[in-house]
Amino acid sequence: MTDGPNGAVVSAVGVSRAFSMPAGPVVAVRDVTLTIAPGEHTAIRGPSGCGKSTLLHILGCVDAPTSGSLIFDGRDVAGLSDRARSLLRLRHIGFVFQRFFLLPMLTAAENVELPQAEAGVAKAERRHRSLELLDYVGLGARAGHRPSQLSGGEMQRVAIARALANQPRLLLADEPTGELDQVTGEHVAALLDRVNADGTALVVVTHDLALAGRARRVLTMRDGRIEDEARQ
């Protein structure tokens, strides 16, 4: 896949997302226009309920905007089937969740192998790459451990390795340090920096000012809108 016409990995153009609620529709994201360039490091911050996770889900093609369009690598995502969107996520987007969501019955290496297996990578190759990735996140010695045998920080590092398994162009992290103590959070943040430095575009949604401060571009959201954009 190549970059879009404007060189962006993903572009949201005037996207809004409304949810139907019993008390009436709630608009989580309002008319947001945003472009993520290759290798860019962006943080989205803002108070709870301001729409930052919803925006992240839209950028990651797991949620569809009510209005506006999303262009991923030059293609309008709205026109893609569910299967095509799944393939797009599988090959080009990595997700890191606040609660890790590692599969408890699989070892760390097997968790990292999983998206590769789904993408059809040969067994030997995916095993090699999984061990390489676990080494990369500093857990080469824990490849055979189950999630229940790992600490929170270790689990998140495995989750990052899993997200990188198919060499995505865009890594989306939703409160990646939300469940971790400060020191462990620092380690995870440093790892994410390294991933970005190695060329993967990174979008982090966080409350954590220190984590947001590591990004070159910080977007502040309020009431579904991007209220402020700072570059450092």
Partner 1 sequence: MRAPLAFAWRSLVRQPARAALAILGVAAVGALLLDMLLLSEGLVLSMRELLDRMGFDIRVTAVEALPGSGPDLTDAPAAAAAIAALPGVRAVRTIRSEGVELWTDTVHSGGIFLGVGGEPAQLWTILRGRDLAAGPELVISEYAADLLHLEPGDTVTVRASCDGGPEAPPPATFRVAGIVELPFDTPDAVTAGTTLASLEAACGVTGGIADFLAVASTGDADAAAARIRAARPDLRVFTNDEMIGLVQQGGFTYFRQISTVLTAVTVSFALLLITVLLTVSVNQRLAEVAALRALGFSRRRVVLDVLCESALIIGLGGALSLPLGLLLASWLDTILKRMPAIPAQIHFFVLEPQALAAHAALLAATALVAAVYPMQIVARLPIAATLRNEVIS
Residue with tokens 């990369």: 136
Instruction: Select from 66-74, 80-88, 189-197, 221-229 the region that touches partner 1 (CB under 8 A).
Output: 80-88
Does 30 sit near partner 1 (CB under 8 A)?
no
Q: Which of residues 163-182 bind partner 1 (CB under 8 A)?
A: 163, 166, 174-175
Per-position DSSP letters for 41-81, written without gaps between them: EEEEE-STTSSHHHHHHHHTTSS--SEEEEEETTEEGGGS-
Assess 88 for contact with partner 1 (CB under 8 A). Answer: yes
Task: Rank residues 13 and 90 by Cβ distance to partner 1 and give the closer one.
Answer: 90
Cα Rg for the chain, rounded, in angstroms? 17
Residue 18 lies near partner 1 (rule: CB under 8 A): no
Q: Does 42 bind partner 1 (CB under 8 A)?
A: no
Residue 162, C-beta contacts closer than 8 angstroms, at least 6 positions apart: 94, 102, 111, 112, 114, 115
Other CB atoms within 10 A of residue 134 CB: 22
Please name the helix (run of DSSP H) or strand (run of DSSP E) that holds residue 6, with its range, or none: none
CA nearest to 42, candidates 5, 15, 9: 9
Backbone angles phi, psi at 19, to 5 degrees: -115, 140
Shortest Å distance, C-beta 55 to partner 1: 11
Nearer Cβ to partner 1 (66/217): 66
Number of residues engaging partner 1 in binding (CB under 8 A): 35
Site string for partner 1, 57-76 (x = CB under 8 A): x--x-xx-------------
Residues in 98-157 that interact with partner 1 by CB under 8 A: 98-99, 101, 103-106, 114-115, 117-119
**Could you tell me how far CA 82 lies from the centroid of its own chain?**
19
Residues near partner 1, by CB under 8 A:
53-54, 57, 60, 62-63, 82-83, 86-91, 93-95, 97-99, 101, 103-106, 114-115, 117-119, 162-163, 166, 174-175
